[in-house]
Structure 1
Amino acid sequence: MKQVEYELVAEDHKAGIKFSVSRVLHKLGLSSSGYYDYLKRKPSYQDKRRQDVKKAILQVYEESHENYGAPKIAKILNSGGITITERTVGVYMRQMGIRAQWVKPHTQTTIHSDFSGKLKNLLDRNFSPDHPNCVWCTDITYIHTQLDGFVYLACIMDLYSRKIISWKLTKTLDTGPILESIKEARKQRPANEPIMIHTDRGVHYTCDLYRKLTRGMVRSYSAKGVPYDNACIESFHSLIKREWLNRFVIQNYRHAYRLVSEYIDGWYNPKRIHSHCGYMPPTEYEVMYPRTSTN
């Protein structure tokens, strides 16, 4: 135990933190002679391995844009031949002063329509369809900018892989521009069979234009005021803010557009591993489908 404490004191001192070593040692109940003997000793095999593992953890953490926590880092290290538990990764991360991004509180943004028809929840929280292009879900979230006020992000997710197959950033909540994401998704992913598309009950998803754009598709709706019915896309919108957008003071629409593109097209779809996808990125998981399918 003393060696670990000596190591922490030495690491803080090397990092340039200004403090009296003798005073810290005294408060910890450690001897100065023992500390300086520790500094003179050559690192043991365990010490070297610990430092190598910490370097590997830091590399994975930085490559994830500081987003991955202990579970994902442990998974990647184990797949790369470094045997380590999630708990140990967590301990090392705390020692190194690094952590995954914090979750921000959910904010309700949906404006419910007065549409009087019967809107049924056909999805019924079955968030794991057995093949791509079977179930889509969509929602809208807001992004604050300094010069242009709020801009609005509409995303469509394929629930099989959690891949964002289409997204649209608009300056207003006007229905036409928001629903351009559906046009793009249908262009990108034509299908011979009906696709289920799940949404909340906001005015954008109960209007005539929405019904026109989704003609031939199976429409499913969350219960009023129950965001958990559309949890996957709600979770994604929290994720893009937590992992990326909240780091920046976003200047205007163009800045927001660039950041959204960098995250979705440059990171989330092609590179970010997902536990739902067996710790593969969404794009890779979809590519693997024909190889694993028995159909």
Structure 2
Amino acid sequence: MIVAYIDDHREEFGVEPICSVLTEHGTPIAPNTYRSYKRIPISAAELEEAYLVDAVITLWRKNNELYGIRKMWWAMRRAGYRVGRDQVGRLMRIAGVQGVRRGEHRTVTTTRTQTAPRHPDLLKRGWNTPTKPDTWWVADFTYVWTLTGFVYVSFVTDVYSRRILGWRVMGSKETALVASALSQALATRHRQDAQFTSTGLVHHSDAGSQ
């Protein structure tokens, strides 16, 4: 998943900066390690396993991230995949997902608190409203599973261009996680356009209490 993450963002940020940020926040990977991995030919068995892992993640999310091995095995069979129960367990371990047990804690990135101060929703889901960049920016964060556990990734996206202007990876949900992503987004626009100003720009995030 680390390699896939670098693949998704290398054109915009470059391999070295991404590896540096990931290493800084507890997910060590060197640029040469990434490039060496990309040069290794993928076997048919590895490719098939990658497709199955992707199917497991899709079904796990579709079922509210609740399914354990047994229910996931049934779901895979219903979806037409000829897999064994032990194989499903191994695929789930590779994907870094597991079912929820009674009394077990689940990782949640967004928690609404009704008593917390909340700014009005200025967007009202009108995603097609902007007619130019830098009208609306939306911010969110999620978590990404890695070989050393999971890390939180925050990002700021321009609604009109769909471009990620700023992002940040950290091992915990702190103010700096989202604040630094916004700072990077502002720096990105200033670097591209010295006349850029945030006047009139709407920055939107969800109603989480983080």
TM-score w.r.t. structure 2 length?
A: 0.44
Q: Which has the higher helix share?
A: 1
TM-score w.r.t. structure 1 length?
A: 0.32
